[in-house]
Amino acid sequence: MLYIILKSSSGFYNREGRWRQTLTEPIVEAKNLSKNYGAFQAVKGIDFSIYPGECFGILGPNGAGKTTTAAMMHCFLPLTSGSLNVFGMDTQRCQRQIKKRLGVVSQENNLDQELTVIENLIVYAGYFDLGKKAALAKAVKLLAFFNLTKKKDVSVEKLSGGMKRRLALARGLINDPELLILDEPTTGLDPEAKHLICQHLRLLKQQGLTIVLTTHYLEEASHLCDNLIIIDHGKIIETGSPQNLVAKHIGSHVLELEIPREKEALLLPELGEVANGCQRLGSVFFIYLKDNIQYVTAKLEQFPFISYRQLRPANLEDVFLKLTGKELDHD
C-alpha cells in the first residue's frame, strides 16, 4: 500500500520534512459552510481548504461542531447553506462518486462484532465492488500494517478497544482512499493504544495519504497535523500550523504563577515589555513570554507573594486557553 504525491514547484514541507504538493485546487474546500438542526446552528459559516498530502486537524471541545463538519465532508449529513466540495465535486450532488474515493473512521464502534477480524474487512470491501480475491489480498496487507495478523480469525467482540480501533482504521483503508477522515480516533483509549494509533497515522502520512483528523487532544493535533482549524461553538476562531499558532499567540514559553488577584497589578508592569499577554484560570495566572527568559525569572525573585512558579515551553493548549478563556475537555 503506497500513496505517492509527485513533487512540484507548488507545495509545502510537512512535519516530517517531506514535500507535499498543494496543486492549484484543494482536495476539500468549504465556503461559508453552515449546518442547522432546527433553530440550533451547529456550524456557523466556516471556510477552510485541505490540500493533497497534508494532515488537516479540526480541533475543539466536545460539542464544538467537529463531528458535524466531518460528517458533511463524507456526505453523511447534508449542509444547510454555503458550499462544500470534495475532489472538486459538490457533496450535495455527487455523493456516490465522492464516497467511493473516501475512507471514513467514525467515533462510534460500528464493526460487526460477530464476524472475525478478516471477515469484517472482506465484507466491507464488497461495498466498493472489490472481488473476493482482491479483497482478501488487501485485507491481509492491512492486517499486517496494523499488527493484527495474529488476530485475523478472532471475533471482533473479543478484541481490546485499541485493537478494535486499529481494525476500524484498516477497514477505512480497504478501498485505497485518496482522503481518510478520522473522527476522534483515539477517544476512550488508554495511553499505549493511543500511541499505537498515532504511530500508524504517522506512517500513513509518510506514504502521502491526505488525512482529516477531528480531535480534542491538543498533543495529538500538535504531533500529527500540518495545518488545523480551531473551532468553538460552530465557528472557526483561528487557523494555521500548530507551530505558527503557538509562535503567533503565545511565544516561546509560559510562566504559570499562583498569585492573589490583587497582586497582579504589581507584577504586570515589570513584565509588560517581554510578555505576549496573560490569562487567569482559577488560581493560576499564565504569562506568555516572547523571549528574555532569564530576565523574567530574575524579576520574579523580587516578588515574595508568588507561591507557585513554573516555566515551560508554550504549546497548543496555551493557544486555546488564550483564545477561548477555557481549557479543552479531557477524558
What tens-digit pLDDT sequence spans the chain (331 residues)? 444 333 344 555 555 555 555 556 899 999 999 999 999 999 999 999 999 999 999 999 999 999 999 999 999 999 999 999 999 999 999 999 999 999 999 988 899 999 999 999 999 999 999 999 999 999 999 999 999 999 999 999 999 999 999 999 999 999 999 999 999 999 989 999 999 999 999 999 999 999 999 999 999 999 999 999 999 999 999 999 999 999 999 999 998 989 888 888 888 787 767 778 888 888 898 989 887 788 887 888 888 888 877 889 999 999 999 998 888 765 5
Q: What is the pTM of this model?
A: 0.87
Judgement on whether residues 86 and 29 belong to the same structural domain of the protein:
yes
181 and 62, same domain (yes or no)? yes
Does the residue 331 lie in any domain? no
Is the same domain home to 99 and 178?
Answer: yes
CA distance 200 to 257: 38
Helical segments of 126-217, H only: 132-145, 161-172, 191-206
Among 220, 242, 264, the domain boundary falls at 242
210 & 176 share domain: yes
Given this model, what pLDDT does residue 9 score? 44
Ranges of beta strands (E only) in the chain are 11-13, 19-21, 28-37, 40-50, 55-59, 81-86, 89-90, 102-105, 179-183, 210-215, 227-232, 235-240, 253-258, 275-281, 284-289, 308-313
Asked, for residue 328, whether it belongs to a domain, the answer is: no
Query: Quick check: helix, strand or coil at residue 85?
Result: strand
Task: For residue 77, give the CATH number of its domain.
Answer: 3.40.50.300
Domain annotation covers residue 128: yes
Residue 306's domain comprises: 251-313
Q: Give the up-direction half-sphere exposure of residue 165: CA atoms within 13 A in the CB hemisphere.
A: 23
| φ, ψ for residue 110, nearest 5 deg | -110, 30
Counted domains in the chain = 2
H/E stretch holding 320 reads: helix 316-324
Determine, yes or no, domain membership for 148. Answer: yes
Each residue of 113-169: pLDDT tens digit? 999 999 999 999 999 999 999 999 999 999 999 999 999 999 999 999 999 999 999
Say what the pLDDT of residue 1 is: 42
Same domain, 82 and 228: yes
Q: Are residues 177 and 290 in the same domain?
A: no
In this structure, are residues 311 and 253 in contact, taking their beta carbons and an 8 Å threshold? yes
pLDDT at 298: 81
- Does 319 map to a domain? no
How far apart, in whole angstroms, are the C-alpha atoms of residue 116 and residue 215? 29
Name residues whose C-beta falls within 8 Å of residue 8's C-beta, 6 or more positions apart in sequence. Answer: 21, 23
Shared domain check, 282 and 149: no
Q: Which residue among 198, 219, 242 closes a domain?
A: 242
Whether residue 255 sits in one domain with residue 238: no
Together in a domain, 44 and 145: yes
The answer to whether residues 202 and 265 belong to one domain is no
Q: Is residue 63 part of a domain?
A: yes
In a domain, 33, yes or no: yes
Residue 154 lies in a domain: yes
Q: Residue written as cell 478472532?
A: 154
Last residue of a domain, one of 242, 260, 283: 242
Instruction: Please check whether residues 151 and 269 belong to one and the same domain.
Output: no
Residues 154 and 91 occupy one common structural domain: yes
